[in-house]
Amino acid sequence: MTTLRSFAEMETMHRACSIVVETLALLAEHTKPGITTKELDLIAAENLRKRGAKPAFLGYHGFPATLCASVNDEVVHGIPGKRVLLEGDIIGLDFGAIVDGYYGDAARTVAVGNVSPAAERLMKVTEESLHRAIETAYPGKRLGDLGHAVESHAVKHGYTVVRELSGHGIGRNLHEDPQVPNYGPPGKRARLEAGMCLAIEPMVNEGAAATRTLPDKWTVVTEDKSLSAHYELTIAVTEHGPWVLSEPYPFAQSVRHA
């Protein structure tokens, strides 16, 4: 059952999402060869505390950290620890924040020092695929249209999308209905409506789509050990089109309550 959110609720989520994206930018600045994933986790936790937000992932089904830090062939849900980042690694940084009971969730993949052109290209195409989906998020479109936007862009560049994990509705909980798969077919699944708030999060692999979960029960890796990239933003579907909730309201103020 998908809950539709009011404009006031979206504004609260906008505050949560802005803190997440600001913190991701801070983490990106600190992502250099020699830093550990645990140090990045502590920076995220400290910035959330300073900004008066609560971590959304810490303790979620027992997850032990503020940040998910997923390196190279790790797709998502990597647990921060003693791992030292090396020149040429790529790292997916993913976390959520809670402000006044509402959630924001976002992720980006960051280069550690200089990375290969192949890694750069994978990150670029994955981020583009997220934006293709966001541009599709108008009332009347279907969830399959969003997934198709991601998948078709990734496949066109020779990549695959992860199918075992999806984006999700978000609001008073981190994960709400509906699921937001990163594949089509277009024209299928639930119709988008104004008031839906969705975390869209393509996970794109350089090799095959198949993944497995490590014995730590969290870290998802590519089965063939190929590189994987992950980008995520939380959006609200409004009557006028998509609002990326970490950005200012993009439509004329005069129509905001329409």
Binding site for Mg ion (CB under 5 A): 105, 199, 201
Distance of CA 244 to CAs 40, 71, 112, 137, Å? 25, 26, 27, 10
CB of 56 to Mg ion, least distance (A): 9
C-beta of residue 97 within 8 angstroms of C-beta of residue 16: yes
CB of 159 to Mg ion, least distance (A): 20
CB of 76 to Mg ion, least distance (A): 8
Closest CA to 106 of 190, 18, 197: 18
Q: What is the 3-state secondary structure (H, E, C) of 140-203?
A: CCEHHHHHHHHHHHHHHCCCEECCCCCEEECCCCCCEEEEECCCCCCCCCCECCCCCEEEECCE
Pick the closer one to Mg ion by CB: 88 or 178: 178
Pick the closer one to Mg ion by CB: 154 or 254: 154
CB of 158 to Mg ion, least distance (A): 25
CB of 78 to Mg ion, least distance (A): 14
**What is the spatial distance between Cα 171 and Cα 206, in angstroms, rounded to a whole number?**
32
Tokens standing for 86?
A: 């090396």
Pick the closer one to Mg ion by CB: 25 or 84: 25
C-beta of residue 36 within 8 angstroms of C-beta of residue 82: yes
Pick the closer one to Mg ion by CB: 120 or 176: 176
Pick the closer one to Mg ion by CB: 176 or 206: 176
CB of 98 to Mg ion, least distance (A): 13
b/e code 37-68 from CB counts within 10 Å (16+ = b)? bbbbbebbbebbeebebbbbbbeeeebebbbb
- Interhelix angle 37-50/7-30, rounded to 10 degrees, is 140
Closest CA to 258 of 2, 7, 3: 7
CB of 103 to Mg ion, least distance (A): 9
